[in-house]
Amino acid sequence: MSAQAEQKRLTAPDIRARKGGDPIVSLTAYHAHTARILDQYCDVILVGDSLGMVMHGLETTIPVTLDMMILQGLAVMRGSKRALVVVDMPFGSYEASKEQAFLSAARVMKETGCSAVKIEGGREMADTIALLTSRGIPVMGHIGLMPQSVHSLGGYRARGRDQVQADEIVADAEAVADAGAFALVVEGTIESVARTITQRVPIPTIGIGASPVCDGQVLVIDDVIGMFSDFTPKFVRRYAEIGQRIAEAASAYAADVRARRFPGPENLFGAGPAPLKRAK
């Protein structure tokens, strides 16, 4: 059997065909072992540039580089078999020109083996998305609150509460869909805007902080599993308290080491055969 026949990985057209159907389930992942677990439950695994904040403790996604995305994209591809893996194009790797975007996206696809990239931006990115899709690179769009534009948007606030902004976001969604994106992340907006977009565009909308009217949902895995104790965004539901569990495990380990309870007899290598005595 060929390698292709063994693997039934979801494709961008499969996800595109889910418009108005069963909700699309998506989470971010950055490591092979997390990807292996999420692969059983997710249709789309997003290697988000949120890795800058989640893995590296950065304040924003802006310093994230193409090399960082490629390294983690490769790890996620190794860990997953079924989900469509989408890798984020980081800030500065695609905005200068369509050509820059193509070269960066081609590197991501060649070096990770992923099947699609995600690009933040609306009408201003339509030409770029059209070029990439016409050259064989499936693109997921990302509009609404765009974290790479945090400095020009003035913070991580929800967008589209006034009519002017709402109209802009809808126009962005339509431009990205017309340009050929196969799906669209809609981040940080009110339900009525998400509903208008979802009704107007022919591609699935995947919401994050954009209400249940979208065709699917995406969240950052570390938020979902409770890795951070200090802050949980309003749109996140925490399904586990793994950060707390890690602290408990580390604390129990530290206590055992200090009391010489670890390693125990079960952790020791057995003695091997006695060395032969040399004849005198």
Q: Which two tokens stand for residue 61?
A: 């996604």
Considering the complex, what minimum distance in angstroms separates the CB of residue 146 from ligand KIV?
Answer: 9
Residues 167-196 that bind ligand KIV (CB under 6 A): 185, 187
Residue nearest to ligand KIV (CB): 48
Contact with ligand KIV (CB under 6 A) among 42, 45, 69, 88: 88
The residue count for binding ligand KIV (CB under 6 A) is: 12
- In the window 117-176, what residues touch ligand KIV (CB under 6 A)? 142
- Between residue 227 and residue 266, which ones bind ligand KIV under the rule CB under 6 A? none
Rounded Cα gap, residues 157 and 64, in angstroms = 21
Is 86 strand, coil or helix?
A: strand
**Under 8 Å CB-to-CB from 192, ≥6 apart: which residues?**
166
SS3 label, residue 141 = strand
- Residue 103 φ/ψ, nearest 5 degrees: -65, -40
- Report how far residue 95's alpha carbon sits from residue 34's, in angstroms, rounded to the nearest whole number: 30
| Interface stretch with ligand KIV, choices 7-15, 41-49, 109-117, 129-137 (CB under 6 A) | 41-49
Least distance to ligand KIV, CB of residue 51, Å: 7
Among residues 12, 15, 27, 48, the one that binds ligand KIV under rule CB under 6 A: 48
Give the residue from 227, 164, 156, 230 showing the smallest Cα distance to 187: 156
Q: Which parts of 12-31 interact with ligand KIV (CB under 6 A)?
A: 28
DSSP helix, strand, coil percent of the chain (3-state; round to 5): 40, 15, 45
Contact status, residue 27 vs residue 68, Cβ threshold 8 Å: no
Active site residues per annotation:
187
Rule CB under 6 A: is residue 218 a binding residue for ligand KIV?
Answer: yes
- Per CB under 6 A, 208 contacts ligand KIV: yes
Binding site for ligand KIV (CB under 6 A): 28, 46, 48-50, 88, 142, 185, 187, 208, 218, 220
